[in-house]
Structure formats: structure tokens, C-alpha cells
Copies of this chain bind each other. A is one copy, B any other.
């Protein structure tokens, strides 16, 4: 790893890998495919957690914790589930020095063990709905891994709910997709397309899977959150039954939904530039970095007096004062640009004289993002600057997605555009057409967006009549 970050156009993949490490978000662990989330990365994740948890609680959910280990036999109770997950399992076969009678799976997801507990807890319609979320770690034995995007162990939240009717459960599924969309747009400034996954791409064991899809800086798609309507599949496999209002025994309807540390990858690749990260102000661990500038002790005394006053005034923001004496201001500028701090405040001797200070916006590097502002009303000025940066990041990402989304006129053009963009095309609904695109272009169907143009068209693959438009894209 050299000192200089590769540019995105040189090597997007290396830009990403090196940036994650240089910015000290994460590091490789000494176990293949596992990561260490470093303090800066974990602080970002904590902010993501808080923003989501607030929304979960506001929609009536509570948190709990279910075991890490799941008996192998549990997974086998839902046929599609075990088929989907069995190639990816980490299995504990020895405990306390002895071979276990039944091997334990390290959870890849918790529908099965939570389903078992729900069958114990739910007896009557009065016990419903059950609206539980869990923050934790899961393990999927992936062969090709990348920090945040795909690791053996990752951190996430998984919501698991049980309802008396199919309609209620489907409403919950869509409500949580909405929560994810709202979080992505308004906290992370990541524009996403909420939509339905094709049957082929749905979660193993789900009746319907919904997703939010985001376009990364290289135009590839990233699935950044999913919400599944599980029908009665898991309720039947685990016997989650309740007495309804008419005293009839019924199976419950369940959902599950998750968003993981993968989202950090989405933030990096949506906003980052050749200088490094650009973190959205609402989630940034450090929103404002203050860099004092002085040449001698006399200047230092005068500058630091203002610096300390500014720091005190900004106590309601996440502020870091970089008071290191062994680095030059220029070195510090580069470092905080690499680490994506949204706003830099520079204070030098001239600022002390003039009663001013310099704002440097991370979203507009160089002169374009620099302005000199009076030292008055600082909290208001910083609030405004952060809002502007947040809005700019979102607008820019949305414009980028629009500019790189195509409506190809035929299959030939689709094959071309998906090499460096998304195709938004009519699809007849046939899995064969979907498979053909994947095989021949490496683009997968990302989703059938909830928002449809209406009307009809011809399937981009087979030219038969089609009622829905879908996104095709190469994806992470």
C-alpha cells in the first residue's frame, strides 16, 4: 500500500480498498475474510445505528438478543432457507473439549431460532403483533470478500415480526422498506431505488423480498437494505400459531428486514472522491475539524485563544480540534480530507486580526469550497454549512444516478449500457429473460421499482408485451 491513494478512474477497486484502510475505517483481520472495524469506522456505524434505532422505536419496535448458535436441525426445517444458506455456514462441532452431538451453526441470519422462540411466546391474537429487532453479528462463509461489502462476519440489525394477517405483515414489510429509504436519503444522502426483487433474487425462504438499491461511483449497483415478507413459510416450519378472535388456531405471518455494515461501503462509494472519503454531515463521526495555523509562539497564543472560543461555541456539534504540533497545516488538511470530515475551519493570525475564519467544505475541494466568514453566529453558520453539504451530496449522487441510467432501445443497447450504467427497461416477467441478461451481460435484475411509469411496453429481451419496468445493472 503506497502513500498516495489511486484515483477512481485509475483503479476504482484499489481506490476503495486502500481508502478504507488509509482512512482507518477498517482493517483486515488475521482470519480470512474477516474485518476489524476501527474506531473511526465504528463511530460511523454507531451513528448509523442511532439513526435507524430511533426510527425502529418510533414505529413501535423493541430490541432483544437471540443466540449466536443455531442447531443445524433448525435450518433444515425450511427447505429453501437451508438450500440457500448451507453452502455459507460456519459450524461449531466441538464444545468444552468434546464433540457435539448436534453441530451448531453460527447464525447466518436468525429467522429459524427466532421463529422457534415466537412459537413459545405467541399463543393468542392478543400477543400479536410481535415487533422485535436485534443488533448483532452474523457469519456467512463467503469466498470472495471485501471490507464492509462482503465479509465472513458482519454487523447488522435484523428485524423479525409476526402478525395476525397477511395484509398486516406485508404492510410492515413495506413500512420498514420505507424506513430504510428515509434513512438512506435523509441521513446518508444516498439516493436509493426501493423495489421488489425478482423471484430469482429473493431471500431464501421469503415469499417476497424488497430492496433498496443504490448506484456507486463506478455506476455499479449495491443492495443496501432488504425487507422480506415471509408469508407463513417460517410460521409453518416452526409452528408459530395463535388463537384468533374466533378461537380458531391460525399460523402467523412473519417478516424480516436487515441493514448491515455494508452500508458503510455505500457511503464510501456514493460520495468519495479522489482525495478520499466525503462523509454526510448527519452521520460523520467528526462533523467539523478545526485546524489552527501559526508560525511562532506569539501567533500561537493569539490563534489558540480564538480556537478555544470557537470550540466552546460549537459544543453541540461533533468537533475535533487538531492541535498536533508536529504536523504542518497542509498535512492536516490532506488527512482530514482523506477521512472525509465535511467542514474544516481554519484559523490563522490574519483571522484573529480580522475577526474572521475560513470554512473549507469537503464536498467542494479547493477554492470553490472555501470562504471567509465572520466569527459571529458560528453555530448558525455551521448548521447552515452542514445542511448545504448534506443537500449537495444527495443532489450530486442523484444527478449521477440519473446521468448514468439509460432507457436502451433494444437488447443490443442494453448489453452496452449496463457495462457502465443502469438500464431501466420493460420486462415481461419471465425468469428466462432475466437469466439471459445475467448470463450474457453480467448485469442482474436489481429490482422492480415500486414507482412505475405506468402503461405498457415491450420486454427488452423477448419483445413480448410487458407491464413493468425494471433495473438491470452490474452489482457488488
Contacts and interface: CB of A to CB of B under 8 A. Distances in A.
Interface of A: 27, 29-31, 34-39, 41-43, 45-46, 62-71, 74, 86-97, 103-104, 106, 113, 116-117, 120-121, 126, 132, 136-137, 139, 141, 143, 152-153, 155, 326
A132 B36 contact: no
Nearest to A70: B31
B90 A91 contact: no
Contact of A65 (B37, B103, B126): B37
Contact of A69 (B31, B39, B42, B91): B31
B62 A39 contact: yes
B35 A67 contact: yes
B97 A67 contact: no
Contacts of A46: 63
Contacts of A74: 30
A117 B36 contact: yes
A42 B63 contact: yes
Given A27-B117, A36-B67, A67-B35, A106 B132 contact: no
Contacts of A66: 29, 36
A156 to B, nearest CB: 12
A43 B71 contact: no
15 contacts: A29-B66, A36-B65, A37-B65, A39-B62, A42-B64, A42-B65, A65-B137, A67-B153, A68-B68, A87-B97, A89-B94, A90-B94, A90-B104, A91-B93, A92-B93
A29 B113 contact: yes
Contacts of A132: 39
Contacts of A42: 62-65
A114 to B, nearest CB: 9
B68 A139 contact: yes
A92 B106 contact: yes
A140 to B, nearest CB: 9
A112 B340 CA distance: 32
A90 B96 CA distance: 6
B143 A96 contact: yes
B95 A91 contact: yes
Contacts of A45: 65
Contact of A67 (B31, B62, B121): B31
Contacts of A41: 64
Contact of A31 (B34, B36, B63, B104): B104
B64 A113 contact: no
**Pairs A-B, 4 closest by C-beta atoms:** A96-B141, A39-B62, A91-B94, A37-B65
A90 B91 CA distance: 10
B89 A63 contact: no
Nearest to A136: B137
